[in-house]
Amino acid sequence: MSLKFSLIQTTPLGGRRAQLDLSHQVVETPVFMPVGTAGSVKAVPQDIVESLGAQLILGNTYHLYLRPGHEAIRRVGGLHRFIGWPRALLTDSGGFQVFSLSQLRKVSDDGVRFRSHLDGSSHFFTPEHSMEVQIALGADIAMAFDECTEYPADRRRAEESLRLTMAWARRSLEHFRGHQHEVVWHDQLGRAQSLFGIVQGGMYHDLRRESAERLVEMDFDGYAIGGLSVGEPRELTLETIADVLPLLPPDKPRYVMGVGYPDEIEQYARMGVDMMDCVLPTRAARHGLLFTSEGRLNIKNKQYAEDQGPPDPACDCMVCHRYSRAYLRHLFQAGEALSGTLNTIHNLAYYMGIMRRVRADLQSVGHRSAAEAPS
Amino acid sequence: MSLKFSLIQTTPLGGRRAQLDLSHQVVETPVFMPVGTAGSVKAVPQDIVESLGAQLILGNTYHLYLRPGHEAIRRVGGLHRFIGWPRALLTDSGGFQVFSLSQLRKVSDDGVRFRSHLDGSSHFFTPEHSMEVQIALGADIAMAFDECTEYPADRRRAEESLRLTMAWARRSLEHFRGHQHEVVWHDQLGRAQSLFGIVQGGMYHDLRRESAERLVEMDFDGYAIGGLSVGEPRELTLETIADVLPLLPPDKPRYVMGVGYPDEIEQYARMGVDMMDCVLPTRAARHGLLFTSEGRLNIKNKQYAEDQGPPDPACDCMVCHRYSRAYLRHLFQAGEALSGTLNTIHNLAYYMGIMRRVRADLQSVGHRSAAEAPS
């Protein structure tokens, strides 16, 4: 027994208001998951991440495997305990970073040999090893080891990549089922970690369909749509999501990886995506880019040097409450560490606010459509 | 009318428990002031600095003058408003940083010409200009423009340096008295900024005495002992403080600038020093050095890699409450911004805890000695 997923409302457009019941947290969905790459949502203390309403954050297996090492994390009681985060966690498979960050990759059917971007040391990742590492980390949700197909990829390349991802999905699942009891924490309900499969197939509809159908057959605890936000035009992202969603079982959570801008996460959530993650709000914040109800605001701009207004007049986050644009610009210009912290807090508050609003809308639309249905 | 200083208890050893009533905060003394160099206690959001119990923080005139500029800060309502800090503020005179950070200094009786460490631009600081800048910043307490005599300094050099500091003190005071009404905020009690004079004189007792006596004659709102923590042996620091304290009026606050280690701030507070500031707890934190009830802890050390204990078992700060040594070490090793934030929060909590304990002790010792006095 793993996660429990309970639909509260479904809208005519396919949007779903649900609860994702994980061992460490009942997560209200649709949910946006802040990224905590190396065990920290960069620059923000955990109690503030909590107060922003984050229910589920993401850790990167590749980073944590390299430093401090998954065995060390297992020995200190798993990732929740290590980072002081009692709510839910999800780890990716490490695959994406192996392909995007490491050097000298060599892919075979068995797995990927790569060199660490930190010290050049050589490592070999297989689906089985990814599962071992993720079981040691002990997040509530683990992800199958996949190859994120690049964009553009021609038909032949997308087929070959998908073949690998499908074989690795099966091996991930088998290893996971055989070892998931080894996780360091114990849920009193007897629940363990959950494993999600990842739909690939590039931008080819039939490959995406094949991928989804075969994964559903394998029976994962949830399903992700991967290989998006890799440089494709946004209409393609939307089209792919719209194509794949109906192929996934309605009673299991659906996760679109690596998206997106504020309007994207809202749009996808209203279409029936239950979970999303993206480094955008946190990374952009560290570069001085704020998301606001008035659009994007580049806090570096000279025009804000004496602007006493809050970053976003419509926002009630702790940053907009207390600090001015002039101060945030000064912190950025002066290279103060507080700059990244405050900008990140605001951007996350903005993203969390969007999802709260979308959840409320989905719930009321569902109510309305139920009320309007012929009796 | 400026600050009000009210003694609550005085101990036989000279220690004083008092209240420093400033326009923005009634400060319980002895007090340790965290340093907020460029308008930020580095890496810590203001609400956390507040929750640590900081009543009075320090801003550096040199840094704020260069960036974002004192006139910009005046235009956005002064430093309190600019940085979102409603409690008390103190600004130094800029002198120390002009001498320690800037390039190509040229000192004359009139003032100091120097080049910015940021962009090499040329600036001229006089006592009058330091006052102008500090009035624009609008801290509760401003400091006279002085020359911080280096260590070692021979007799002739110390005399010459003191001559400059004394002339500049008089000019600082005159300019301040003539312009202090220009400060941007208004206290409903009609109170304005206060100005402290700074005792110099190197390590020469008679020069220190001369300095103290002449400053007292000028009648400042409070008195600082400067020119310490500049490389002299610690016995000399202690000796100088012990020599100078009795020369200062008992009914005005006494501030030792730039000290110190945890045992130092405790010792000086028990001797009758009312105010201290130092970058040590914040700067050391960013280098991974934690102050704890068990001594100094270098969080970088490998021995903490899997240490699940809190940084300081006797500390109840938000960091020791939630995070392990293993996690803090990981954050440091991984270069995570959160490392500086959490280490700084702990170190400040430790310093604030010392001062809280010293204040309680001074108050009860005072009570005891009153009770033990022959009736």
Contact A58, A36 (CB under 8 A): yes
Is B205 in CB contact (< 8 Å) with chain A? no
pLDDT score for A1 = 65
Is B110 one of the annotated active-site residues of the chain?
no
Using the beta-carbon criterion (under 8 Å), do B336 and A83 form an inter-chain contact? Answer: no
Using the beta-carbon criterion (under 8 Å), do A42 and B67 form an inter-chain contact? Answer: no
Q: Please list every residue in chain A whose beta carbon sits closer than 8 Å to the beta carbon of residue B302.
A: none
Is B116 in CB contact (< 8 Å) with chain A? no
E strands, A79-163, in order: 88-91, 103-107, 112-115, 122-125, 141-143
pLDDT score for B375 = 45
pLDDT at A188 over 90: no
Q: What tens digit of pLDDT does each residue of B226-284 get?
A: 999 999 999 999 999 999 999 999 999 999 999 999 999 999 999 999 999 999 999 99
pLDDT at A374 over 90: no
> For residue A186, what pLDDT band results from cuts at 50, 70 and 90?
confident
pLDDT score for A81 = 98
pLDDT score for A372 = 53
pLDDT score for B95 = 87
A80 or B368: which leads in pLDDT: A80
Closest CA to A23 of A46, A2, A47, A50: A2
Bridge partners, residue A10, by sequence:
A16
Which of A67, A341, A345 is the best mutation test for B, with the most CBs of B within 10 A?
A341
Q: Region B299-324: what's the mean pLDDT?
A: 98
Is B312 one of the annotated active-site residues of the chain?
no
Between strands B122-125 and B112-115, the pairing is: antiparallel
Which among A68, A329, A336 has CB closest to B305?
A: A68
Percent of chain A scored above 70 by pLDDT?
A: 97
pLDDT at A74 over 50: yes
In B, minimum Cα distance to A37 occurs at B336
HSE-CB for B266 with a 13 A CA cutoff: 13
Percent of chain B scored above 90 by pLDDT?
A: 92
Q: What tens digit of pLDDT does each residue of B179-237 get?
A: 999 999 977 888 889 999 999 999 999 999 999 999 999 999 999 999 999 999 999 99
Coil, strand, or helix at residue B27? strand
Task: Return d(Cα A164, Cα A142) in angstroms, integer.
Answer: 19
Helix spans in B180-261 (H):
205-218, 234-244
Q: Between A and B, how many residue pairs show a Cβ–Cβ distance under 8 A? A: 124
Give the predicted TM-score (pTM) of the model.
0.97
Residues 6+ apart with CB under 8 A from B218: B169, B170, B173, B197
Closest CA to A203 of A171, A234, A247, A169: A234
The tokens describing B278, both together, are 């130092």
Q: Region A126-155: what's the mean pLDDT?
A: 97
Which among B323, B333, B337 has CB closest to A340?
A: B337
Q: What tens digit of pLDDT does each residue of B52-104 get?
A: 999 999 999 999 999 999 999 999 999 999 999 999 999 999 988 988 887 78
pLDDT score for B372 = 53
pLDDT at A26 over 70: yes
- The catalytically annotated residue of B206, B277, B307, B316 is B277
Percent of chain A scored above 90 by pLDDT?
A: 92
Is A39 in CB contact (< 8 Å) with chain B? yes
> For residue A375, what pLDDT band results from cuts at 50, 70 and 90?
very low
Which uninterrupted H or E stretch holds A10? strand A4-10
- The catalytically annotated residue of A21, A277, A307, A312 is A277
pLDDT score for B99 = 83
pLDDT score for B2 = 84
Using the beta-carbon criterion (under 8 Å), do A47 and B83 form an inter-chain contact? Answer: no
pLDDT score for A21 = 97
Supply the mean pLDDT for chain A. Answer: 95
Is B324 in CB contact (< 8 Å) with chain A? yes
In B, minimum Cα distance to A345 occurs at B45
Closest CA to A309 of A331, A287, A329, A288: A329
Closest CA to A290 of A340, A237, A229, A347: A347
Which uninterrupted H or E stretch holds B227? none
Which uninterrupted H or E stretch holds A254? strand A254-256
Supply the mean pLDDT for chain B. Answer: 95
Bridge partners, residue A143, by sequence:
A196
Task: Return d(Cα B65, Cα B221) in angstroms, integer.
Answer: 24
Task: Return d(Cα A176, Cα A168) in angstroms, integer.
Answer: 12
Which among B47, B75, B337 has CB closest to A42?
A: B337
Which of B339, B341, B344, B348 is the best mutation test for A, with the most CBs of A within 10 A?
B341
Which amino acid makes up residue A140? D
Q: What tens digit of pLDDT does each residue of A256-306 get?
A: 999 999 999 999 999 999 999 999 999 999 999 999 999 999 999 999 999
> For residue A190, what pLDDT band results from cuts at 50, 70 and 90?
confident
Q: What tens digit of pLDDT does each residue of B325-345 get?
A: 999 999 999 999 999 999 999
